[in-house]
Amino acid sequence: MNTRKLNFTRRQRNEEIAGYLFVIPNLLGILAFVALPILLSLILGFTKWNPMQGLGAVKFVGLEQFLTMFSDERLGAALKNNFIYTFTYVPISVALALLAAIALNKHVFCKVPLRLMFFMPYISAMVSVAYVWLILLNPEGGPVNNILMAIGVKNPPGWFTRSNSSLAGIIVVSVWHDVGYYMIIFLSALQTLPRQVYESATVDGAGPLRTFFSITLPLMASNILFVAILATMNSFKVFDQINILTEGGPGYSTNVLVYCIYHYAFKEHNIGYASAVAVLLFIIILMISGIETKLKDRFTY
């Protein structure tokens, strides 16, 4: 565009330089503490390394670490658990957040305190949250199981003490913790929706369910997919609650990729293998985000 050349005054160039100078400290920080470690991690996935012997002890072994993965039971269980976790956690938390946002968008009694209560778990430290839920989900005498038995459930789940319910317990804790955050995002999106469409729908005699499926959902589609991508990213990063509540157990039932990385790096002191698993995690998240972004382009305006 012609105007660009005309406006290219010295003042503007200096402002550009100033802009870069403002950004450089942060950029250096990101390069040093984020980009470089990620790059090194990716490289270390192709090595065998004992860090106690210094940087010189890095031995390149090509794809050996990746080949070991195929016969690793722990990793296989972790992959399975990650997928179960993601495909349960994401739909549940997005759905709950959307419903909560819609419910709290209109004039509801105690709207502001309710919103606060929904959001507070998100700003609480996961460590304290985990300990509280450990007590709540105590299979013998914990409040949750007492309530379940009172309403007639004969065999309430063993939560963190049994392999078939430990992952469910983790999902409960994570959903409870994160729903508030997604709800806030939906709330702000809901408030930008045009009111005229809703008014004309009411005039035309649409009920609440019809309004939801035909108007709210399509208008919110891009936001829903955005939150879904966010939730997916978060679900692959799950670690705190697992480390505190179950340490990957019983057996391998709550083992996930990030916990595997932690285990291989700091319990087996196998930095090379842990980095290889990190590369695997990177590829998986990349693929899933790619799919979801394609979906977003396809389904939204």
Partner 1 sequence: MMDAGHVARSSKSLLHEGEGVKMKKTMLFSLAFLMAFFPVFANGQKEASAPKTETKTVIHFYDWAPTDLSIIEDFNKENPDIEVQFHSIPDNGGEKLVQLDILAMGGGDIDVMPGSDGEQMVRMKNGIYAPLDAFIERDGIDMEASFGDILSYARYNGVTYGYPFRSTVEGIWYNKDMFDAAGIPYPDGTWTWDEYKEIARKLTHGEGANKVFGTYTHTFNGQWAPVGNEKESWYGEDGLSNINSEAFSIQLERRKELDTLGYQLSFSQIQATKATQAAYFLGGKCAMVQAGSWLVQNIKDQENYPHSFRIGVAPLPRFDETVEDSNYFSVAASILAIPANSEHKEEAWRFIRYMVEQGASRIAGSGNYPCYRPAYNDELIATFIEGSGLELEDIRPLFGTMSSVSQKPTGAAAAEYQQSMQEQTPLFFNGEKSSQDVLKQIQKITDTAIKKEQSGK
Q: What are the structure tokens assigned to 102, written together?
A: 């819609």
Nearer to partner 1, 47 or 234 (CB): 47
Residues 163-192 contacting partner 1, CB under 8 A: 163
134 lies in the binding site for partner 1 (CB under 8 A): yes
Is the Cβ of residue 174 or residue 253 nearer to partner 1 in the bound state? Answer: 253
Rule CB under 8 A: which of 223-262 touch partner 1?
248-252
Residues β-bridged to residue 59: 48
Which residue's CB is nearer to partner 1, number 115 or number 263? 263
Does 68 contact partner 1 by CB under 8 A?
A: no
Closer residue to partner 1 (CB): 199 or 268: 268
Nearer to partner 1, 36 or 117 (CB): 36
> Site for partner 1 (CB under 8 A): which residue of 76, 121, 139, 156?
139
Is residue 7 a contact point for partner 1 (CB under 8 A)? no
Q: Which of 169, 175, 199 has its CA nearest to residue 100? A: 175
Among 46, 133, 160, 182, binds partner 1 (CB under 8 A): 160
Question: Least Å distance between CB 176 and partner 1?
Answer: 18
- Choices 49-57, 59-67, 112-120, 195-203 (CB under 8 A): range interacting with partner 1: 49-57
**Which window, 52-60, 178-186, 212-220, 275-283, contacts partner 1 (CB under 8 A)?**
52-60
Strand partners, 47: 60
Beta bridge partner(s), residue 60: 47
Q: Which is nearer to partner 1, 146 or 293 (CB)?
A: 146
Q: Which of the residues 24 through 43 are near partner 1 (CB under 8 A)?
A: 25
- Which residue in the set 7, 8, 14, 218 belongs to the binding site for partner 1 (CB under 8 A)? 14
Contacts of 207 (CB under 8 A, 6+ apart): none
Residue 142 interacts with partner 1 (CB under 8 A): yes or no = yes
Residue 59 is a binding residue for partner 1 (CB under 8 A):
no
Rounded to 10 degrees, the C-alpha dihedral 164/168/173/178 comes to 150
Q: Does 270 bind partner 1 (CB under 8 A)?
A: yes
**By CB under 8 A, residue 156 contacts partner 1:** no
Output 105 or 138, the one with its CB closest to partner 1.
138
Kindly tell me which residue out of 1, 6, 21, 150 binds partner 1, with binding defined by CB under 8 A: 21
Three-class secondary structure assignment of the chain: CHHHHHCCCHHHHHHHHHHHHHHHHHHHHHHHHHHHHHHHHHHHCCEECCHHHCHHHCEECCCHHHHHHCCCHHHHHHHHHHHHHHHHHHHHHHHHHHHHHHHHHCCCCCHHHHHHHHHHHHHCCHHHHHHHHHHHCCCCCCHHHHHHHHCCCCCCCCHHHCHHHHHHHHHHHHHHHHHHHHHHHHHHHHCCCCHHHHHHHHHCCCCHHHHHHHHHHHHHHHHHHHHHHHHHHHHHCCCHHHHHHCCCCCCCCCCCHHHHHHHHHHHCCCHHHHHHHHHHHHHHHHHHHHHHHHHHHHHCC
Q: Which is nearer to partner 1, 18 or 110 (CB)?
A: 18
Q: Do the Cβ atoms of 92 and 171 come closer than 8 Å?
A: yes
Residues that bind partner 1 (CB under 8 A): 11, 14-15, 18, 21-22, 25, 50-54, 131, 134-135, 138-140, 142, 158, 160-163, 248-252, 266-271
